Amino acid sequence: MISRHAVLRPSARRAFRFRGQYPSPYRPTGPRPVSTLSPTSNLPTSTPDDDARMTPAERRASASLALVFSLRMLGLFIVLPVFALEAARLPGGDDAARVGLAMGMYGLTQAFLQIPLGLASDRFGRKPVIVAGLLVFALGSGIAAWAPDLTWLAIGRAVQGAGAISAAVTAFLADVTRDSVRTKSMALVGGSIALMFALSLIFAPALAGWVGLSGIFALTGLLALLAIAMVIWVAPAEPQEHRPSDMQHLRAGMAEVLRHRGLMRLNLGVFVLHAVQLAMWMALPAMLVSAGLAKASHGHLYLPAVAASLVVMGGVLFPMERRGRLRAAFLLAVALIGAVQLALWALADASPGLWAMGLLLFVFFIGFNTLEATLPSLVSRLAPAHARGAALGVYNTLQSVGLFVGGVVGGWLAHAHGAQGLFAVCSVAMLVWLVVAWPMQAPSSAARR
C-alpha cells in the first residue's frame, strides 16, 4: 500500500515536519488538528530543518513584549518585600490575617480572570485585551496608593489582579514567533521576570523608606501606563487569523483544550513549579540568616544567582533545543529543582554555609528559568491556534492557583513541621511531577511508531 506521505511533494513534507504535525487522511482540510497519538506524543521539539535564528520582526516582538511583561512584573514584585511591614502602619494593619488577605487578593482575582481574558483575546484580539488589562492594573495601583486603611488596600490589590493579561501577552508572543524560536522568545520573558524579582528584593526597602508604600503603588501605576505605550507603539501588529468567528468556536476550542492530555500534564507542571517556588521562600530566608547573611543583604545573593543561571541556561537550553533534545532539557530542569529541595531538606536542621546556599540558589534558578521558558512555549505549540489564548488562560490560572496554594500550604508546613517538613513535601511534589512528565515523547518518534 502506498504511504500517504508518498504523494506529498518534498516541500510539503518539510512544511508538515516543521510544524511537528503529519497530515491526517481523515481531515484533509480545515484547521490543523491536535495529535492524538498518545497523551503527550506530540510534545514539540525542534528538527534539523528548523531555523533557530530570530528574524528582525521576531526580535522586535520578543524584546517589546518581554519589556511589557517585565514592567508589569516589576510593578508587582517591588511591593512584596515591604508590603507586610508597611501595611501594618495602616488602620487595621495590626491584624496579620487581614494583611495576608490583602496581599493574596491579587492572586485570587488573577486566578478567576486568566481564562476569561484569554478567551477574550482569542475573540477580540491580543492588543485590546492587553491594553484594557494594563489600564485596570493602573487603576488598582491608584486605589492602593490612595488607600486610607487596609480594606481599601485590599480592594486596590484585587483590582490590580483583575488586569490578568499574562495569557494574552504569552499568546501574542506565540502568534508572532515560529515554533523553532519560541522557546528563546519565552526565555527572554522568563529571564526578565527573574531579573525583576531580584532587583525588587534589592531596591524595594530603600524605595519604601523614600516614598513609602503609597509611593511604590503610584510607581507601579506609572509603569503600567508605560507598558501600554510599549504595546501600542512598539509591539508589532498582531495577526488576524487566530480569531474564531463566534462563541460556538470559542466553546469548542475551550473544550478541546480541557480534553488535551498533553496540556493537562503541562498545567500540572506549572502548578507544582509555582507552588514549590513560593513554599520554599517560607523557610529559605531564615536559612540564609542562619548562614550569616543579614536580611537586608539577601538581594545581593539572589541577583548574581539569577544572572549566572540565565547565562548557563542560554548556553545549554538553546543548543539542546536545536539538536532536538528539548525533552531532555525539560526533564533535567525538573530533576534539578527536585535535587535542590532534597539538599535543602538535608541542610534544614544543620548550619548551612553561605557558599552552599548560594550554590543551591544558582542551581534552583537554572531549573526554574529553564522551565519558565519551556512550559509556555510547549503550551503554545500544543494548543490549537484558534484556542491558544484559552490554553494559556488555563495555564496561567493553574500558575496563579499554584502560587496561592504554595503560600498557604507552605506557611502551614513551616509552622507545623518546620523547614524539614516543608522541603520534604516539596521534594515529593517535584518527584511526582517528574514521574508524570517522564513519558513525554518527541512527535517524530511517536509518528514513526
User: Residue 449: what pLDDT?
Assistant: 36
Backbone angles phi, psi at 241, to 5 degrees: -70, -15
Q: Of 31, 175, 120, 65, nearest to 390 (Cα)?
A: 120
d(CA 129, CA 243): 13
Backbone angles phi, psi at 283, to 5 degrees: -120, -20
pLDDT digits (tens, 9 = 90+) for 349-359: 877 788 999 99
pLDDT digits (tens, 9 = 90+) for 198-237: 778 778 777 888 888 899 999 999 999 999 999 999 888 8
Asked if 296 contacts 427 with a C-beta cutoff of 8 angstroms, the reply is: no
Enumerate residues 6+ apart whose C-beta is below 8 A from 51: 178, 180, 181
- The topology (CATH level 3) of 254-439 is Growth Hormone; Chain: A; (1.20.1250)
33 C-beta neighbours (distance < 10 Å), count:
13
| Sign for the pseudo-dihedral over CA of 72, 77, 80, 81 | negative
Q: Which residues of 70-79 are buried (b: 16+ CB within 10 A; e: fewer)?
A: bbbbbbbbbb
User: Residue 243: what pLDDT?
Assistant: 54
Q: Name the grid cell of 8.
A: 506529498
Asked if 256 contacts 387 with a C-beta cutoff of 8 angstroms, the reply is: yes
d(CA 96, CA 260): 41
Enumerate residues 6+ apart whose C-beta is below 8 A from 291: 351, 352, 353, 354, 356, 357
**Digitized pLDDT (tens) for each residue of the chain, 449 residues in all:** 444 444 444 444 444 343 344 333 333 444 444 333 333 334 444 444 446 688 888 888 888 888 888 887 777 778 876 776 788 788 887 876 677 677 778 878 888 888 889 888 888 889 999 999 999 999 999 999 999 998 999 899 899 989 888 888 888 888 888 877 777 787 777 777 777 877 787 787 778 888 888 999 999 999 999 999 999 998 888 776 555 555 666 677 778 888 888 888 999 999 999 889 878 877 888 888 888 888 777 778 888 888 898 888 888 887 887 787 888 889 999 999 999 999 999 998 877 788 999 999 999 999 988 898 888 888 888 888 777 778 888 888 888 888 778 877 887 888 788 889 999 999 999 999 999 999 876 444 333 33
224 C-beta neighbours (distance < 10 Å), count:
26
Q: Which residues of 225-243 are buried (b: 16+ CB within 10 A; e: fewer)?
A: ebbbebbeeebeebeeebb
Helix (H) or strand (E) holding 94: none
Asked if 141 contacts 218 with a C-beta cutoff of 8 angstroms, the reply is: yes
d(CA 419, CA 396): 28
User: Residue 4: what pLDDT?
Assistant: 43
Q: Of 199, 113, 99, 112, nearest to 411 (Cα)?
A: 99
User: Residue 14: what pLDDT?
Assistant: 41
d(CA 413, CA 424): 10
User: Residue 241: what pLDDT?
Assistant: 58
User: Residue 52: what pLDDT?
Assistant: 65
d(CA 49, CA 15): 9
Judged by DSSP in three states, 350 sits in: coil
Backbone angles phi, psi at 169, to 5 degrees: -65, -45
d(CA 418, CA 410): 10
* DSSP-derived secondary structure letter, 1: -
d(CA 420, CA 348): 5
Q: Read out DSSP for 25-81?
A: TT--SSSPPPP-SSTTTT-----TTS--SPPHHHHHHHHHHHHHHHHHHHHHHTTTT
Backbone angles phi, psi at 234, to 5 degrees: -115, -45
Judged by DSSP in three states, 287 sits in: helix
Beta strand extents in 312-387 (DSSP E only): none
Q: Judge: domain 53-236, CATH 1.20.1250.20.
A: yes
Q: Of 185, 170, 171, nearest to 63 (Cα)?
A: 185
d(CA 345, CA 431): 14
User: Residue 96: what pLDDT?
Assistant: 63
* DSSP-derived secondary structure letter, 239: P
Q: Name the grid cell of 266.
A: 503541562
Residue intervals in the chain for CATH 1.20.1250.20 = 53-236, 254-439
Helix (H) or strand (E) holding 241: none
141 C-beta neighbours (distance < 10 Å), count:
28
Q: Of 194, 176, 216, 188, nearest to 78 (Cα)?
A: 216
